[in-house]
Chains A and B, each alone.
Chain A
Amino acid sequence: MTQRFTLTVDGKSHTINADPDMPLLYALRDDLGLNNPHFGCGLAQCGACTVQIDGQAARSCITAVSTVGDAKITTLAGLGTPEKPHPLQTAYIEEQVPQCGYCINGWIMTAAAFLRDKKKPTEAEIKDALSGLKCRCGTHISILKAVKRAAEMMG
């Protein structure tokens, strides 16, 4: 049976009817029509579906929609805009990071939560924070450059 849920996504409120067990990913993509995050594995192994829930990076592919409650959900689109980009988005463009770009949500949303809480991280700390995320095109070198660049921008 479906239930009614109200989700706050990127500052806007949306009401949907959904199976309580349905992962948040499908609410965002199908019910709200957002083009991000992406389905990568459905197993919380890759990060392509990452959003922030109350500021914490979360894998929306295994987050049941019923567990979100009134928490604030932020997607990549809500992190920044071309007019007001998040430093990671600026750094990603400067470093020309993505190849296919399908993995972006995981890296940027996870790194954004990390850099907010950790100023001036070492390279080892950055790597540890991002460990487990997947990029199949092998853009790891550019990802690390971009996160370091964003870390500098964020002081």
Chain B
Amino acid sequence: MTKFEHSSAFTRRSVLLGGGALVVSVGAAVSLDTLLSLQAAYAQGAKPPLTPDQLSSYIAVNADGTVSAFFGKMDMGHGLHVAIAQIVADELDVPFKSVKVFMGDTANSVNQGGASGSTGIQYGGKQMRIAAAEARRVLVEMASALLSTPVEQLKVNDGIVISGADATKRISYAQMIGGKYFNVQLDWNKQFGNTLYAPGKAQPKKPSEHKIVGQPIKREDVGPKVFAQEDFVTDVKVPGMVHGRMIRPAIAGAVPVKIDESSIKDIPGAKVVWDKGFLGVVADKEWGAIQAAQTLKVEWSQVDSPFPEQSSLYDHIRKASVRKRSVDKENGNVDDAFKTAAKIIEAEYEWPFQSHASMGPACALVEIKDGQVTCWSGTQKSHFVQEGLALTLDVPVDKVRVKYTPGAGSYGRNDADDCAMDAGVLAKSVGKPVRLQYMREQGTGWDPKGPASIHKARAALDASGKITAYEFTSKGFSRIDVNTNGGKPHDTLAGQTLGVALKSGDGFGVPAESYAFDNKRMAWETIAPLLDRASPLRSAHLRDPVGPQIHFASESFIDEVAATVKADPIEFRLRYIKEPRDIAVIKAAAEKANWDTRVSPRRDQSGNKVSGRGIAYSQRNGTRVAIVAEVDIDRSSGKIWARKFTVAHDCGQIINPDGLVKCIEGNIVQGVSRTLWEEVAFDRKSVTSVDWLTYPILDITETPAEVNVVLINHPDIAPSGAGEPSIRPIAAAIANAIFDATGVRIRRVPFSPDRVKSALS
């Protein structure tokens, strides 16, 4: 537990003597019993168990007065730790700079779900806020007894409790509890993960009382990053460490049947770790491990090529048996309404597999020493990796510590958790700490993929052009073929290659919007994976899991209907949208973008270069986003420049507006990349997107010229998430802008130049 100071300046003796750190006014009627009972009740030297029902699991006041916040989620690059420190500092009435947030270390934080679903502030912050409020309540109560002053007469400034009536009556948090642990029970809801909630007796402050929340405080971790002073997970080293590399088959599904270990005998420290389908190497040096992985002679089992031709992917999805169907939202009588429709509009949309393609392939270090397993990982969910390692290595979970250490970017269930398990297996096998980093072709080729899908939408119109019925159905690979964390061996490559029983999950989703149609049905259907075990096309969560694909389809389709009835795309949406906050974001985006109200497509352009504008909007777990995209299209090359975005964003109370804008900008750029370029290529044998040439992403030369963000702040509405909502409507906004410019509707992502050119010709 780094930075936590165990020394105590507040000993029983100092209390008894009334000297030292304590400042108690002369004659104050504080009995010894009161002091001792306070000590026993609220502060103790021995650490209470690290369980969600203990205040000490979230907050500690150090001997120097600084505050440690132990957070069971972690930042993935948006500065979440800054926002959490702002929340904690505000509730505790301590300076922002005195709060240090420790993230995702299983040795000092409880399982709050890790980075998950943009809930860092929504759920994680909620718990840290209520814990900090409880800490303040307890400290003020302690001060009340020590200062013989009623709680109501006390105020807190910068961690010092002061009597309002007599400013000489004062005592600091550090004096009361610095270096000791809170001994305060919370009312835990018995949930782990995102929904964990454990309030005390305190009420959090009213938003009007917030002083630090809402401020544009900068990240202090930028400096260390630009001066190369920060350790990424790739930089961690321990004594005796060796380097590992994994070896994957050229034909997915093949397993090693014969290994010639002599082929790597000249590489210092080279050793093979082979068990069923699990094959890796270690060597003394990293370059040695890379060479060993490349050089090792391996004979693989003969297997049938597992995949269809990529060109038949969407036909495969269309024809595949439905493994699970779920109607998530339904009202009215959709089938009857379609029977009486004056007109029916239908369309189908397609979205490819996409890769997390993190900036660097995953890396993890596992050390097993005296029965204790320590893992350094860039995982989004260290507490689940802790469970996964315990199961994979067959050790008790309390013998595993996972220390989240920032990795090379993470946008969901990327390759980090697989890497941690693989490193664990290697370390256990060779009896040395192993640092494993995947190679690029594994980072892109073998990470869990965002699922490919098709989306069918249809609308029934009456004679006046009003939508009387609407049906939207997604069909695709599951978002949880492997789960969103590596907590179970069946969800990781290590477990799957080692032969555990499989347990593919079924999940997808439906559009999140507030279109009120009299008859409406929204459903999803999942199909089986193309290869059930150790597949490079296994599907899982990729930033805003299934959100971009669903809303590409649903918000494109609304635009298609608007064009059919010759209505302006925004005016048409507002005929049906009922939620006031949804209406507000759309209007805010339109106003800021100076929206030109008219029917799409434009009719006033000719020539090779044309421009258009498009709108799309969506909700996501309480957050609302509306995006106006303005794009330029070169008709002869098919190249699109997504030139300008106007984003109106409402996520309730804003904790840090600057951090929020950066977060949104990243969403927009990554969303443009996903829309214009990204598609996992594969052949019948395996994934052929294995690097940045075969999995291109947006280049700096294609950066939007402008991203204008309109933040709508609702201080009285609990904050919802921002890490993902604004990536959701981008593809549709661009597609709608392309239609506006050209009159051509593109229903398959990505809008690569070849595809656009062919669509326009």
Task: Give A residues with C-beta under 8 Å from B.
Answer: 18-19, 22-23, 26, 29-30, 33-36, 38-43, 45-46, 48, 75-77, 80-82, 85, 88-89, 92-93, 96-105, 108, 127-128, 130-144
CB distance from B42 to the nearest CB of A (A): 39
Would B287 and A137 count as touching, CB distance under 8 A?
no
Question: Can you list 5 residue pairs at the A/B interface with Cβ under 8 Å?
Answer: A35-B229, A46-B359, A98-B222, A100-B410, A128-B701
Instruction: Select B227's contact among A26, A77, A138, beta carbons within 8 Å.
Output: A77
Would B408 and A40 count as touching, CB distance under 8 A?
yes
Would A138 and B231 count as touching, CB distance under 8 A?
no
Question: Which A residues are CB-close (under 8 A) to B440?
Answer: 40-43, 45
Question: Which A residues are CB-close (under 8 A) to B226?
Answer: 76, 85, 88-89, 92-93, 97-98, 101, 104, 108
Question: Which B residues are CB-close (under 8 A) to A141?
Answer: 665, 669, 703-704, 707
Beyond the given pairs A22-B287, A77-B229, 10 more chain A to chain B contacts, judged by CB atoms under 8 angstroms and listed by A's residue number, are A38-B234, A38-B360, A40-B440, A96-B79, A97-B222, A98-B226, A99-B409, A99-B662, A141-B669, A141-B704
Question: Which A residues are CB-close (under 8 A) to B230?
Answer: 35, 101
Complex: chain B residue closest to A10, CB-CB: B228
Would A134 and B697 count as touching, CB distance under 8 A?
yes
CB distance from A153 to the nearest CB of B (A): 14
B318 at interface by CB-CB < 8 Å: no
Would B232 and A102 count as touching, CB distance under 8 A?
yes
Contact with A along B318-357 (1 / 0, CB 8 A): 0000000000000000000000000000000000000001
Question: Which A residues are CB-close (under 8 A) to B463?
Answer: none
CB distance from A7 to the nearest CB of B (A): 15
Question: Which A residues are CB-close (under 8 A) to B357?
Answer: 136
Given contacts A40-B408, A103-B359, whether A98 and B287 have CB atoms under 8 Å apart is no
Would A138 and B692 count as touching, CB distance under 8 A?
no
Would B700 and A140 count as touching, CB distance under 8 A?
yes
CB distance from A27 to the nearest CB of B (A): 9
Interface positions of B from 227 to 254, Cβ below 8 Å from A: 227-232, 234-235, 237
A75 CA / B437 CA spacing, docked (Å): 22
Contact with A along B35-57 (1 / 0, CB 8 A): 00000000000000000000000
CB distance from A6 to the nearest CB of B (A): 18
Question: Which B residues are CB-close (under 8 A) to A96?
Answer: 79, 218-219, 222, 658, 662
B720 at interface by CB-CB < 8 Å: no
A46 CA / B444 CA spacing, docked (Å): 13
CB distance from A95 to the nearest CB of B (A): 9
Given contacts A35-B228, A99-B78, A139-B666, whether A130 and B700 have CB atoms under 8 Å apart is yes
Would A98 and B225 count as touching, CB distance under 8 A?
yes
Instruction: Select A26's contact among B78, B228, B285, beta carbons within 8 Å.
Output: B285
CB distance from B78 to the nearest CB of A (A): 6
Question: Taking each of A29, A34, A99, A134, which has the highest tally of chain B beta carbons within 10 Å of its own beta carbon?
Answer: A99
Would A35 and B406 count as touching, CB distance under 8 A?
no
Question: Which B residues are CB-close (under 8 A) to A76?
Answer: 226-228
A132 CA / B698 CA spacing, docked (Å): 9
Interface positions of B from 406 to 434, Cβ below 8 Å from A: 406-411
Complex: chain A residue closest to B658, CB-CB: A96
Would A136 and B227 count as touching, CB distance under 8 A?
no
B286 at interface by CB-CB < 8 Å: yes
Would B665 and A142 count as touching, CB distance under 8 A?
yes
Would A102 and B707 count as touching, CB distance under 8 A?
no
Instruction: Select A134's contact among B225, B231, B410, B692, beta carbons within 8 Å.
Output: B692
Instruction: Select B703's contact among A34, A85, A140, beta carbons within 8 Å.
Output: A140
B616 at interface by CB-CB < 8 Å: no
Given contacts A41-B440, A42-B440, A138-B668, whether A100 and B359 have CB atoms under 8 Å apart is yes
Given contacts A19-B287, A76-B226, A138-B670, whether A45 and B700 have CB atoms under 8 Å apart is no
CB distance from B738 to the nearest CB of A (A): 21
A140 CA / B76 CA spacing, docked (Å): 17
B529 at interface by CB-CB < 8 Å: no
Question: Taking each of A36, A42, A100, A130, which has the highest tally of chain B beta carbons within 10 Å of its own beta carbon?
Answer: A100
Interface positions of B from 374 to 427, Cβ below 8 Å from A: 406-411
Would B360 and A40 count as touching, CB distance under 8 A?
yes
Instruction: Select A30's contact among B287, B409, B668, beta carbons within 8 Å.
Output: B287
Instruction: Select B360's contact among A18, A93, A102, A140, beta carbons within 8 Å.
Output: A102
B1 at interface by CB-CB < 8 Å: no
CB distance from A75 to the nearest CB of B (A): 7
CB distance from A62 to the nearest CB of B (A): 12
Ranked 4 nearest A-B pairs via Cβ: A99-B77, A138-B669, A100-B409, A138-B670
Question: Taking each of A33, A75, A101, which has the highest tally of chain B beta carbons within 10 Å of its own beta carbon?
Answer: A101
A40 CA / B697 CA spacing, docked (Å): 14
Instruction: Select A127's contact among B225, B285, B703, beta carbons within 8 Å.
Output: B703
A73 CA / B221 CA spacing, docked (Å): 26
